[in-house]
Amino acid sequence: MSRSLKHGREQVSIPGPSVIPDRVLAAMNRAMPNIYEGELVDTSHSILADLPAIARTEGEVFITVSNGHGAWDMALSNTLSRGDQVLVLESGLFATAWGALGTTAGLEVQVLPGSDRGAVDPGAVEDILKADKCHAIKAILVVQVDTASSVRNDIGAIRRAIDAAAHPALYMVDCIASLACERYEMDAWGVDVTVAGSQKGLMVPPGLGFVWANEKAAAAYEHADLRTGYWDWGPRRRRVPHYLRYCGTPPIQHVYAMRTALDMLAEEGLENVWWRHQVLAGAVWAAVDAWSTSGQVEHNIADQAMRSTAVTTVLTGHADALRVSARDDAGLILGVPLTGYEHKAFRIGHMGHLNPPMLLGTVGTIESVLLSLGVPLDKSGVAAAAAYLAPHLAPT
């Protein structure tokens, strides 16, 4: 027995898996249905029909029974061939990790080096593509949001750079940390393949991956020799039997969870979901700005225009002590620093099913723990976050 304030519902403020809405959890809690026909099959077809709108595409979607890595693999294996060159646009950890998966599969991966404190430079993309006169590069891989650095790349601007170089490579974007958090316009931004997972903005437990493909990607599929039996788009395209949609037994509870999450997103409206993320992120940034005046804390991404609205990486020498005390003394779980940020950063996830009381609880607890550790703070981040939220509480 020990005296502690941590008893109560633990608040998990990590950049995914995110909080699962009670409605989604309730939807999963059901007896085993008929998997051959009826409600499950109809529900599954309905989520396949509704998912393209979430990525803002007319293209088709494939569902993987996997985490995001599986979706990465599906995207590469259905569009590329052994020995193909791909260009990875570095901006933190995740695009290079996607590229590393490609290396294992037999792709030749070239990395355009980037900063872990800023977005991909579209000018540098244009230059490297212009230099590839024989069009050896077959695909360009980038993340919309890097969950390690919390940078947001300008996907439309990178498309314009590819067009300026008149380069035909497939444009593939990882939206695992950003879909249903950040504005994303797959078709309008000329993206050929989009990848996401269920466990972040989509508010469903980990276990589903999504790959959206346009016609150009579908054409690449025809001669892709990295295809494997399990990930192959071909059989999954056929609507009958439903079993083939998932190359095996459907992920039944996840199908119901996804249906409910899509209903919730539709009820709120995707534009409003993006707006809510923008406002809640603004409150986090206001708090970090206030704490920063003491010189003890700093945004990893200084330029607000390059910041993700789903996750914020905060640099501070107090990061480890903060995370441990927040967890053990206050019941708040913060995101761990990923490779390269060890002992100098923590991350606040602000994605998915989130509102002001949850967010202010996180910000207030961080401030309280920093004070308990003796970190001198000139200004209150809680006050700054609350003041930032105030004008947004009753939008016209």
Q: Are 157 and 190 in contact (CB under 8 A)?
A: no
Other C-beta atoms closer than 10 Å to the C-beta of 6 total 14
Nearer to ligand PLP by Cβ, of 292 and 300: the residue is 300
Nearer to ligand PLP by Cβ, of 128 and 338: the residue is 338
Q: Are 294 and 378 in contact (CB under 8 A)?
A: yes
Closest CA to 247 of 237, 260, 259, 257: 237
- Closest approach of ligand PLP to the CB of residue 32, in Å: 26
Nearer to ligand PLP by Cβ, of 181 and 319: the residue is 181
Nearer to ligand PLP by Cβ, of 141 and 326: the residue is 141
* φ and ψ of 345, to 5 deg: -150, 155
Nearer to ligand PLP by Cβ, of 128 and 202: the residue is 202
Which residues are 349's β-sheet partners?
Answer: 311
Nearer to ligand PLP by Cβ, of 165 and 172: the residue is 172
Report the residue number whose CB is nearest to ligand PLP: 68
Nearer to ligand PLP by Cβ, of 174 and 367: the residue is 174
Region for residue 51 given its phi and psi (left: phi exceeds 0; alpha: psi -120 to 50; beta: otherwise): alpha
Q: Are 200 and 18 in contact (CB under 8 A)?
A: yes
Nearer to ligand PLP by Cβ, of 337 and 381: the residue is 337
- Single-letter amino acid code for the residue at 342: E
Q: Are 152 and 23 in contact (CB under 8 A)?
A: no
Which residues are 173's β-sheet partners?
Answer: 142, 194
Residues binding ligand PLP (CB under 6 A)? 16, 67-69, 94, 143, 147, 174, 176-177, 197, 206
- Closest approach of ligand PLP to the CB of residue 166, in Å: 29
- Closest approach of ligand PLP to the CB of residue 72, in Å: 7
d(CA 318, CA 334): 13
- Closest approach of ligand PLP to the CB of residue 265, in Å: 19
Q: What is the secondary structure of 15-62 as a DSSP string?
A: SSS-PPPHHHHHHH------SSSSHHHHHHHHHHHHHHHHTT-SSEEE
d(CA 173, CA 59): 14
Q: What is the largest CA-CA distance in the chain?
A: 69
Which runs of E-coded beta strand occur in 282-382? Answer: 298-299, 311-315, 332-334, 345-349
* φ and ψ of 60, to 5 deg: -95, 160
Nearer to ligand PLP by Cβ, of 97 and 169: the residue is 97
